[in-house]
Amino acid sequence: MPRNRSNARKPLRSRLSRGAWGAVLTTALVISGSLTAYAGYLDVYGNLSQESVDTDAFGDRPSKVEGAVNIMLIGSDVRSGDNGNYGKSEGERPDSLVIAHISPNQDGATLINLPRDSVVDLPACEPADDKPGMQAQRGMINSAMSLGGVPCQWKAVEQLTGIHIDHFVSIDFTGFKDIVDSIDGVDMCIPEPIDDDKAHLKLGAGRQTLSGEEALGYVRSRYGQGDGSDISRIDRQQEFMGAMLKKVMSGDTMQSPTNLYGFLKSTADTITTDDELTLTKMTDLSIAMREVDMGQIKFVTVPNGPDPADPNRIAWTEPDAGQLFKAVAEDTKIDAGEKKGGEGKKGGGGGGGGKSEKPTVPAEQVTVEVVNGTEVSGLANEVSEKLGGEGFSVAGTGNPNGEVPSTTTVYYGPGQKEHAKTVAASAKDAKVEENPALGTTVQLVIAGDWDGMDGGQGGGVPDSAKGKTAADAKDACG
């Protein structure tokens, strides 16, 4: 039987490695593969470390939707015990912060990644154990964990997103490696050689099976791959977790109670949960999710852009982020599938529409002026703020001097067509048109057909929040 669990706070182990949070969802899914091995699950549950969190102390909380479960997956750079081989790190700032939204009502699950570099308005938190607590402040989202522990991070996530969080789960570096090794590695294709000393990773190019140690380095690697950004790393983590889920759900793990038990035990030995996440609740979740299809497991990153005050930090793009959170909070169906540069949208008249092709110039290299050709007061300022949040340099706003086009249009000067396409990709259904009188600043003229930023003000989940599913997550070679 599970050991007795009091309300006493228990030490929180070293937490989730970068990207290891996906294994938590995997666990929830594969438990359903063999509920007949109930005695084994009791033993697995007995290996969990648990912590009491007083959510009543949070004050007003978001409403809970019956049937849906939201689990906060957290991780940090704290390194102790077997994890000490991965260097030293001060404090307990999570490197990974994810909301796992499990929805039997929608027959699936969505993992929403909240980048650690996000700058947000954090709520005040009381001191907890050896944590000093904090006053309400603007700072990086993972500061809450450092200053107030799990309860403070939980409270911050709820207040920032409006999503009712039911439980939390964490996994440490060693646990992630053990999970990967328990399924005999994960197949990935590495397009280019990787040499990243910070992530303890050196891989040649080509298709290969990553061991637990290699997989840990792969999902931790930041500066040895891509552009070195946290967003780029999150994309790779999602691809890896998609490949891992496919292997678990289609391989021998699901076919044998013995294999399943070994997999679950390797997870349980190294995870920490709140003490309200009981075996009964885990089993109920598993029953509800056992018929889940890989196409219904979605990976999403909150819509974001550079923080206007610090381009090395991240600001959540509104209203897109708010629409995503609202959909999760209300358990609304969230479509997924990688966005293809505006495919399926109209546009493209008057000089070559930019909506049918993926932009080739990044927003950070585009300077745009916003002109309000409608009767909606303040619309140019509103749009310019959103463009600034996406990384564009906004030269100014104003009202039109002459005739307003019937269709929202991005005008560009010589050599600036690709820059105009980038703006058009963010301005829903805009077309692009050349104006030889313009210089290097493109001009967005908002007309009467304005329908918000791409995927924005029409309601529902914005296109910028639609990521990938476990079914269509490709390995790195495509």
Residue 282 has pLDDT above 60, yes or no: yes
Same domain, 318 and 372: no
For Cα atoms 177, 182, 187, give the angle at the middle one, nearest 5 degrees.
Answer: 75
Q: Does residue 351 fall inside a structural domain? A: no
| Average pLDDT across the chain, whole number | 75
Q: What is the mean pLDDT of residues 388-410?
A: 87
Q: Does residue 472 fall inside a structural domain? A: no
Question: Which pLDDT value is given to residue 371?
Answer: 92
In the numeric block, which tokens belong to residue 269? 């030995």
- What is each CA distance from 408 to 8, 171, 272, 346, in whole angstroms? 60, 49, 52, 12
Same domain, 322 and 431: no
In the numeric block, which tokens belong to residue 429? 């259904």
Q: Does residue 352 fall inside a structural domain? A: no
Confidence of residue 443 (pLDDT cuts 50, 70, 90): very high
Q: Which of 102-111, 239-248, 465-474 has the lowest mean pLDDT?
A: 465-474
User: For residue 412, what are the domain limits?
Assistant: 363-446
DSSP character string of 116-167: TTBEEEEPPB--BTTB--B-SEEEETTHHHHHHHHHHHHHHHHHHH-PPP-E
Q: Does residue 344 fall inside a structural domain? A: no
Domain count, the chain: 2
Please give the torsion angle defined by the CA atoms of residues 164, 169, 173 and 176, in that order, rounded to the nearest 10 degrees.
-100
Same domain, 174 and 313: yes
Neighbours of 330 (CB within 10 A): 12
Same domain, 184 and 132: yes
- What is each CA distance from 114 to 135, 426, 463, in whole angstroms? 22, 21, 17
Same domain, 387 and 431: yes
Q: Does residue 478 fall inside a structural domain? A: no
Same domain, 297 and 371: no
Same domain, 237 and 301: yes
AA identity, residue 44: V
Same domain, 319 and 238: yes
Q: What is the mean pLDDT of residues 90-114?
A: 77
Residue 170 has pLDDT above 80, yes or no: no
> Which CATH number fits the domain that encloses residue 116?
3.40.630.190
Question: Which pLDDT value is given to residue 222?
Answer: 73
Using the 3D structure, point to which of 315, 335, 355 is the last residue of a domain. 335
Q: Which residue has the tokens 């450092």?
A: 146
Same domain, 200 and 317: yes
By the 10 Å C-beta count (0-12 exposed, 13-18 middle, 19+ buried), 465 is classed as: buried
Residue 222 CA to residue 233 CA, distance in Å, equals: 6
Confidence of residue 262 (pLDDT cuts 50, 70, 90): low
> Which CATH number fits the domain that encloses residue 431?
3.30.70.2390
Peptide bond into 319 cis (omega under 30): yes
Q: Are 408 and 445 in contact (CB under 8 A)?
A: yes
pTM of the model: 0.65
AA identity, residue 318: E
Same domain, 83 and 196: yes
For Cα atoms 443, 455, 245, give the angle at the middle one, nearest 5 degrees.
Answer: 130
User: What is the per-residue pLDDT across 49-82, written as a single tens digit (0 to 9) for each?
Assistant: 788 899 999 999 999 988 889 999 876 554 444 4
Same domain, 329 and 411: no
Confidence of residue 285 (pLDDT cuts 50, 70, 90): low
